[in-house]
């Protein structure tokens, strides 16, 4: 398996534009997580899905952020409209089962909003 | 709510020596898991070691071992025979055994291994 695949690796966009980050989890994994990493706040959980259903989105900073998981092999994180303070590295991670098994991370998307 | 605290923002160690990274956590749960993840400059998050709270024996993975003190809610990582490739950010993480099992991370410790 190729691991968790995120695209794009890097994204530069202008303030006010819509940004969509994409994630393909490892086949067979049924939990998916979106994290945001910044120098100031470290790694923050934004939202996680279990069997394609959002379980906890309390970490989503504001209504400008939305996430979907239309099927077991694809998820998106959308920011509309984007702001400079959204600049960060966004990670997607997936894992299998309800046990505390290892979460596998993608390589992240570095988002810069200018 | 669970919190994870790493009190050492930065540390350095000479190659071949031993270093210990600290982590404390706070939870009211009795059944949980603890993890150490490594993030090298490539940005990839890599699992280093994990510990089940119900196990008294400390986990060991080659040069990496933990000192798990459940009563003190402490989970430190010891790296023996440090290598240049160990240079990275290290994150302590906590997960409760419930549906979803989300990971809560500490703020990280930046480790520099010097030749």
> Tens digit of pLDDT for each residue in B36-74?
999 999 899 999 999 988 888 999 999 999 999 999 999
Report which of A20, A79, A98 is spatially closest to residue B101, judged by C-alpha positions: A98
> How many beta-carbon contacts under 8 Å exist across A and B?
54
Whether residue B32 lies within 8 A of chain A, CB to CB, comes out as: yes
DSSP per position, B45-82? -EEEEEEETT--SPPEETTEEEEEETTTTEEEEEE-S-
The least confident of A18-27, A86-95, A98-107, B60-69 is A98-107
Do the chains contact at B97 and A99, CB–CB below 8 Å? yes
Higher pLDDT: A111 or A39? It is A111
Residues of A with CB below 8 A from B29's CB?
none
Higher pLDDT: A96 or A7? It is A7
Q: Quick one: how far is CA B62 from the chain centroid? A: 15
Q: Is B29 helix (H, G, I), strand (E, B) or coil?
A: coil
Residue of B102, B106, B107, B109 to mutate, testing the A interface (most A Cβ within 10 Å of its Cβ):
B102
Do the chains contact at B100 and A100, CB–CB below 8 Å? no
Residues 6+ away with beta carbon under 8 Å from B65: B49, B58, B59, B77, B78, B80
Whether residue B107 lies within 8 A of chain A, CB to CB, comes out as: yes
Residues of A with CB below 8 A from B33's CB?
100
Question: Which two three-digit tokens encode residue A53?
Answer: 């259903």
Do the chains contact at A42 and B106, CB–CB below 8 Å? yes
What digits encode the pLDDT tens for the residues A9-57? Answer: 999 999 999 999 999 999 999 999 999 999 888 899 999 998 999 988 9
Strands A74-79 and A65-71: antiparallel
Residues of B with CB below 8 A from A99's CB?
97, 101
Give the chain B residue nearest A45 (alpha carbons). B104
Q: Give the C-alpha separation, B73 to B34, whole Å.
A: 11
The CA distance from A114 to the nearest CA of chain B, in Å, is 22
What mean pLDDT do residues A98-114 have?
Answer: 88
DSSP per position, chain A? ----EEE-SEEEE-TT--EEEEEEPPTT--EEEEEEEETTTEEEEEEEEETTEEEE-TT--STTEEEEEEETTEEEEEESS--GGG-EEEEEEEE-SSS-PPPEE---EEEEE-
Q: What average pLDDT does chain B have?
A: 92
């Amino acid at each position: 398996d190729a691991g968790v695949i995120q695209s794009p690796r890097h994204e530069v966009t202008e303030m006010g534009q819509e940004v969509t980050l994409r994630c393909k989890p490892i086949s067979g994994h049924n939990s998916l997580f979106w994290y945001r990493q910044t120098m100031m706040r470290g790694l923050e959980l934004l939202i996680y899905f279990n069997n394609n259903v959002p379980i906890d989105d309390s970490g989503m900073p504001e209504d400008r952020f939305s996430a979907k998981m239309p099927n077991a092999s694809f998820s998106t994180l959308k920011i509309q409209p984007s702001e400079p303070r959204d600049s960060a590295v966004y990670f997607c991670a997936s894992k299998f089962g309800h046990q505390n098994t290892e979460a596998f991370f993608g390589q992240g998307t570095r988002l810069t909003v200018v | 709510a669970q919190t994870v605290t790493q009190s050492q923002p930065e540390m350095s160690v000479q190659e071949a020596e031993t270093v210990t990274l600290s982590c404390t956590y706070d939870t009211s749960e009795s059944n949980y898991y603890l993890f150490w993840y490594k993030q090298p400059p490539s940005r990839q998050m890599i699992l280093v070691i994990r510990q089940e709270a119900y196990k008294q024996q400390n986990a060991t993975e080659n040069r990496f071992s933990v000192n798990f003190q459940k009563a003190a809610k402490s989970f430190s990582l010891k790296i023996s025979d440090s290598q240049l490739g160990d240079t990275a950010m290290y994150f302590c993480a906590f997960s409760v055994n419930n549906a979803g099992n989300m990971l809560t991370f500490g703020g990280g410790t930046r480790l520099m291994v010097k030749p």
